[in-house]
Chains A and B, each alone.
Chain A
Amino acid sequence: MSTIAEKFGREDWARFTPKQRLQRYAVFAFSALTLGWAISSIDVIWPWVWDAPEQMADLFGRMYPPDARNLKTILSVLLETVNIATFATVLGVLLSLPVAYLAAQNTTPNRATLWLGRLILVTSRSVNTIIWALLFVAIFGPGVVAGILAIMFRSIGFIGKLLGEAIEEIDKRPVEALEATGASRFKVIVYAIVPQVIPTFWAVAILRWDINLRESTVLGLVGAGGIGIVLQGAIDTFNWPEAATVLLAIIALVVIGEFIAAFLRSRIL
């Protein structure tokens, strides 16, 4: 009887081959180096950093107890925030439909329109809502119009991209069948493509509404309407108890929004 070690001629074992180990060390070393570089060169005042926990505690201390005297105003502005988010989502959804149509390889009329569609998506997606808001506040002045436009412009890219991908992934056989019946291009889209992307459409629209609810709470910080204006006002006047109330109201809004989104998703899909 030979032992297993004799049979296989080895009794050492390592999780990784030498090459794998080398690669892992290289990745670790690279990560450590970048982090080291970031820490050593970042422009912070270290005493402030050590002081931070105390400062945070002080701030939260000043927030307590929250001051709810302005609750009525806060709630009405919160409602305005919801309206901005909802209105902008609906407009964004409507405008993203033609963009998705252009940006999907199997529906776009030609190469030029394909690139036009993709250009719109990339521009819309890569510029953050707040930056869009900054631009629209500069153009239209402070107010809800800038906020709605900002959220709408950002939503077009998000919804358009996901919808375009859904269009590209459809089952092509029904399309072939309807082409064989002599249906026009438009009718084929209405009968064979639209029904297949409807579930994605609702899912994406609900998801984006949920995200937009969150985004709309900060529009006010650059002057584009909504609850952010009240928050900014409270912070600027060092009215921390009221700021705390606004923050709590925002949490409530986001949590309720998530519940509504989950409810809609379970009903529609």
Chain B
Amino acid sequence: MSEVRDHWQKPPFIANTALRWLVYGGAIAYFLWVGATMPINWVRVSEGIGRAGQIFGGAFPPSFERSGLLIDGFLESLKIALLATAGGVILSIPIAFMAARNIVPLPVYYIGRAIIIIARSFHPVIVAIIFVKSVGFGPFAGVLTLIVYSIGFVAKMLAERIEEIDFGQVEAMRAAGAPYLSTLFYAIFPQIMPRQIGLAIYQLDSNLRASAVVGLVGAGGIGATLANAFGRYDYDFALAITIVIVGVILISEGISGQIRKRIG
């Protein structure tokens, strides 16, 4: 080439020029529109700045005076998390098998998937409200909520694991003339158990986090204590509860991480 080339531009991210401007223009227009139409009351927001000072002033120093209430709330959260994990992990096994394409006929597969999608779509707080309305306030509603929450995650992950299993082992068992249940126990369970135990420990940790939240709508545990403190403007107690929640979550995350690393 004889011509002097002294111009270069980075190839654009979207090669088609029209599409590129459409995407960029669309994104900018969207954010302008959202910014303009958001129902924001700026007067109230600006008043809030002063109120923030008041709230933080009221929150310091955090008050651990009612530590009895705090501990009770936590123990309840822990119980909710434990029972919900046990229930959720056990229930998720049949549901996961139902949702594994390589194990069950198509109609069953769709039912299994539908259960998982519904369990995953709803935030635990929504599920909690429904359970609180139908079975009453208290930890039982919390346990039911977190069972649904656990199924959404554990059954989904487990179903994916089941779909990946090595079918050679199943064939080997069948070739040896093993009946259906033996095949299940010898060829499939060993392949999914390590994953299931890892998931259970992970889920216990998540449930402990979530149990702090479902309490806000009346499903028991430390969340209920926190909601009460907020409702009564006891910001110093609320801060104490929040600090303890953060601490417990960090500890639980650390323990869960350690155990999962050990199990591998």
Q: CB atoms of A and B under 8 A apart anywhere in the complex? A: yes
- Residues on A close to B: CB < 8 A? 34-35, 37-39, 41-45, 48-49, 51-52, 55-56, 58-59, 80, 83, 86-87, 90, 122-123, 126-128, 130-131, 134-135, 138-141, 143-145, 214-215, 217-218, 221-222, 228, 231-232, 235, 247, 250-251, 254-255
A52 to B226: give the CA distance in the assembly, Å: 26
25 A-B residue contacts at CB 8 Å? Answer: A34-B82, A35-B83, A38-B79, A42-B79, A42-B80, A42-B140, A42-B143, A48-B135, A52-B135, A52-B140, A55-B135, A86-B30, A126-B250, A134-B216, A138-B51, A138-B230, A140-B45, A140-B51, A141-B41, A144-B39, A218-B123, A231-B126, A235-B133, A251-B121, A255-B121
A254→B139 contact, CB < 8 A: no
* Stretch from B97-105, B175-183, B241-249 forming part of the interface with A: B241-249
Verify B217–A123 contact, CB threshold 8 A: no
Tell me the nearest residue of chain A to B83, going by C-beta.
Answer: A38
- In the complex, which residues of chain A have a beta carbon less than 8 angstroms from the beta carbon of B126? 217-218, 221, 228, 231, 247, 250
> CB-CB contacts of B35-62 with A at 8 A, as 1s and 0s?
1001111001101100110010000000
The verdict on A134 contacting B140 (CB below 8 Å), with A38-B82, A56-B135, A250-B121 known, is no
* Contact assessment for A143 and B136 in the assembled complex, using a CB-CB cutoff below 8 Å: no
Give residues 112-145 of B contacting A (CB, 8 Å): 117-118, 120-123, 125-126, 129-130, 133-136, 138-140, 143-144
A105 to B227, CA, bound (A): 38
Residues of B within 8 A of A86 (CB): 30, 34
Q: Out of A43, A126, A138, name the residue touching B246 (CB < 8 Å).
A: A126
Distance in angstroms between the alpha carbons of A131 and B215 in the assembled complex: 11
CA distance A140 to B47 in the complex (A): 7
B157 interfacial by beta-carbon distance below 8 Å: no
**With A42-B80, A134-B216, A235-B129 given, is the CB distance from A49 to B39 under 8 Å?**
no
**Min CB–CB distance A42 → chain B (angstroms):** 5
Interchain CB contact under 8 A, B125 and A35: no
Task: Give chain A residues whose Cβ lies under 8 Å from the Cβ of B51.
Answer: 138-140
Tell me how far the C-beta of A129 lies from the nearest C-beta in chain B, rounded to whole angstroms: 8
Flag if B213 contacts A128 (CB, 8 Å): yes
Q: Give bound CA distance, A49 to B135, whole Å.
A: 7
Q: A87-B35, A222-B216 are in contact. List 17 more A-B contacts (CB 8 A).
A: A41-B75, A44-B140, A56-B135, A87-B38, A127-B245, A134-B230, A140-B48, A141-B44, A214-B121, A218-B125, A221-B126, A221-B129, A235-B133, A247-B122, A250-B122, A250-B126, A251-B117
Instruction: Give the complex CA separation of A55 and B227 in angstroms.
Output: 26
Cβ of B249 and Cβ of A126 under 8 Å apart? Answer: yes
The CA of A123 and the CA of B250, in the complex, are separated in Å by 10
Q: Is the CB of B139 within 8 A of A127?
A: no
Nearest opposing residue in chain A for B13, CB measure: A268
B40 and A145 within 8 A (CB)? yes
Complex contacts, B230 vs chain A, CB 8 Å: 134, 138
Q: Are B45 and A52 in contact (CB under 8 A)?
A: no
Interface residues of B, dominant DSSP: helix
Which of B143, B213, B216, B245 has a CB less than 8 Å from the CB of A126? B245
- Inside 8 A of B134's CB, which chain A residues have their CB? 52, 55-56, 58-59
Interchain CB contact under 8 A, A128 and B212: yes
Closest residue of chain A to B79 (Cβ to Cβ) is A38
A127 to B226, CA, bound (A): 12
Q: When the two chains form their complex, are residues A83 and B34 in contact, meaning their CB atoms are under 8 A apart? A: yes
Question: Is the C-beta of B88 less than 8 angstroms from some C-beta in chain A?
Answer: no
Q: Chain A residues near B246 (CB, 8 Å)?
A: 122-123, 126-127
Q: Which residue of B lies closest to A43 (CB)?
A: B139
Bound CA–CA A178/B130 (angstroms): 58
| Chain B residue contacts of A128, Cβ below 8 A | 209, 212-213
A127 to B78 CA separation, bound complex (whole angstroms): 17
Residues in A whose Cβ lies below 8 Å from that of B75: 41
CA distance A232 to B216 in the complex (A): 13
Q: How far is the CA of A144 from the CA of B37 in the complex (A)?
A: 11
CB distance A43 to B41 under 8 Å?
A: no
In the bound assembly, the distance between CA atoms of A90 and B123 in angstroms comes to: 21
| Complexed CA–CA distance, A254 and B123 (Å) | 10
Interface contact A87-B86, CB-CB below 8 Å:
no
A6–B120 alpha-carbon span in the complex (Å):
57
Quick check: B38 and A59 within 8 Å, CB to CB? no
Query: A254 contacts which chain B residues (CB < 8 A)?
Result: 120-121
Bound CA–CA A235/B52 (angstroms): 31
Report B171 CB to chain A, min CB distance, Å. 23
- Assess whether A87 is in contact with B139, with CB atoms less than 8 Å apart: no
Question: For residue B139, which residues in chain A have a CB less than 8 angstroms away from its CB?
Answer: 42-44
Residue B24 interfacial (CB < 8 Å): no
Q: Does B236 contact A (CB under 8 A)?
A: no
In the complex, B205 has a CB within 8 A of chain A: no
> A82: nearest residue on chain B (CB-CB)?
B34
The 8 residue pairs across chains A and B that have the minimum distance between CB atoms: A140-B48, A38-B79, A126-B246, A254-B121, A218-B125, A44-B140, A59-B134, A55-B134
